């Protein structure tokens, strides 16, 4: 007897069915990211799983695929999690493939995820000691007049918000970031108005924002989401003071602080975050092929260089 598979339904609702108080599934984030649909997996009496998705046309074809919004949204778990992918009837979605970014901590959407880069956290319940050079630079900056502050993002002033956007954009230019990381003012308006976001800053002696971060509360974790340092103060490394402020904030909120990882395994950013954390984890994603024959045809000649979906390796 063939076992009945779980039904997957794609609902065109802007992600509303997946809404929660957690930032990465909040209306603010899903609007900012342009989420178009909710994928609802119905487990009957076993509950449901609801994932926010951005459905996209596949250039040069009549087909569509979908991807989770930026961040670590996973799905809204209403009694159903760790679902075996083979237990779902994906064909009903009419999508070619789905790329899912899961939560940093469980419960995860699906079983058997792909382990990605190592990420680092500060757990306020465990001992934490910054490296000697980090502590020395922090003390030097304090002597020079650099000062930390943090508050709910929705209580930040227009001057603080503009200061954040300026240092963030300067950092993206320095790092050679792609266009997707240059967020619009409308995106930042959603982020600053979220009740799940926190603004942290290190100000220079002249009062200007030297380094700043936006942290968001999602799924029991405070995430260091976006941040940057002004070109003018880069030599003083005010971000080191900023990380002290974020560690104080996570202790006050009794939440672990997720710092993320490096751009590439073993790079300087990864080593820096390793040196200011006291625990680590791994990110997980899920690569779902809903229409195997169409996927294979669209991916012909693109190889398997690790990019998913493979047919977007050349299309972008």
Which of 258, 277, 315 is CA-nearest to residue 134?
277
**Three-state DSSP state, 61:** coil
Please answer whether residues 263 and 77 qualify as being in contact, where contact means their C-beta atoms are separated by less than 8 angstroms: no
- β 257-260/221-229 pair status: parallel
Question: Which domains does the chain possess?
Answer: 6-116+284-310 (no CATH), 124-255 (3.40.630.30)
- Give me the tens of pLDDT residue by residue for the chain, a chain 316 residues long: 346 789 999 999 999 999 999 999 999 999 999 999 999 999 888 899 999 999 999 999 999 999 999 999 999 999 999 999 999 999 999 999 999 999 998 789 999 999 998 999 999 998 888 888 899 999 999 999 999 999 999 999 999 999 999 999 999 999 999 999 999 999 999 999 999 999 999 999 999 999 999 999 999 999 999 999 999 999 999 999 999 999 999 999 999 999 988 777 778 888 888 888 899 999 999 999 999 999 999 998 666 667 899 998 876 5
**pTM confidence score:** 0.92
Q: What is the pLDDT of residues 78-122, one digit of tens each?
A: 999 999 999 999 999 999 999 999 999 878 999 999 999 899 999
How many beta carbons lie within 10 A of that of residue 254, not counting itself?
Answer: 9
**Three-state DSSP state, 143:** helix
The Cα–Cα gap between 71 and 92 comes to 26
How many beta carbons lie within 10 A of that of residue 281, not counting itself?
Answer: 15
């Amino acid at each position: 007897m063939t076992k009945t598979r779980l039904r997957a339904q794609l609902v065109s609702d802007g992600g509303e069915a997946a809404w929660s108080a957690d930032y990465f599934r909040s209306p603010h984030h899903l609007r900012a990211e342009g989420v178009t649909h909710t994928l609802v997996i119905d487990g009957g009496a076993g509950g449901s799983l609801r994932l926010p998705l951005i459905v996209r046309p596949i250039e040069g074809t009549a087909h569509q695929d979908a991807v989770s919004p930026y961040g670590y949204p996973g799905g809204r778990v209403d009694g159903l999690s760790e679902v075996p992918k083979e237990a779902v009837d994906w064909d009903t979605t009419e999508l070619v493939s789905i790329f899912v970014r899961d939560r940093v901590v469980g419960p995860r959407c699906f079983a058997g995820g792909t382990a990605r880069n190592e990420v680092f956290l500060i757990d306020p319940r465990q001992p934490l000691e910054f490296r000697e050079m980090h502590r020395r630079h922090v003390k030097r900056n304090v002597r020079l007049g650099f000062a930390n502050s943090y508050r709910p993002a929705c209580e930040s002033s227009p001057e603080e918000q503009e200061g954040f956007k300026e240092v963030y954009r300067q950092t993206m230019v320095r790092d050679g970031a792609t266009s997707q990381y240059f967020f619009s003012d409308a995106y930042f308006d959603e982020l600053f108005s979220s009740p799940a976001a926190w603004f942290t800053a290190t100000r220079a002696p002249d009062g200007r924002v030297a380094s700043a971060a936006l942290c968001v509360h999602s799924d029991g974790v405070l995430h260091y989401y976006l941040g940057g340092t002004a070109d003018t103060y880069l030599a003083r490394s005010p971000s080191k003071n900023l990380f002290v402020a974020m560690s104080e904030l996570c202790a006050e909120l009794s939440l672990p602080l997720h710092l993320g990882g490096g751009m590439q395994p073993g790079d300087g950013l990864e080593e820096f975050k390793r040196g200011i954390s006291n625990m680590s984890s791994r990110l997980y994603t899920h690569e779902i092929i809903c229409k195997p024959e169409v996927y294979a045809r669209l991916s012909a000649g693109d190889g398997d260089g690790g990019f998913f979906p493979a047919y977007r390796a050349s299309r972008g």
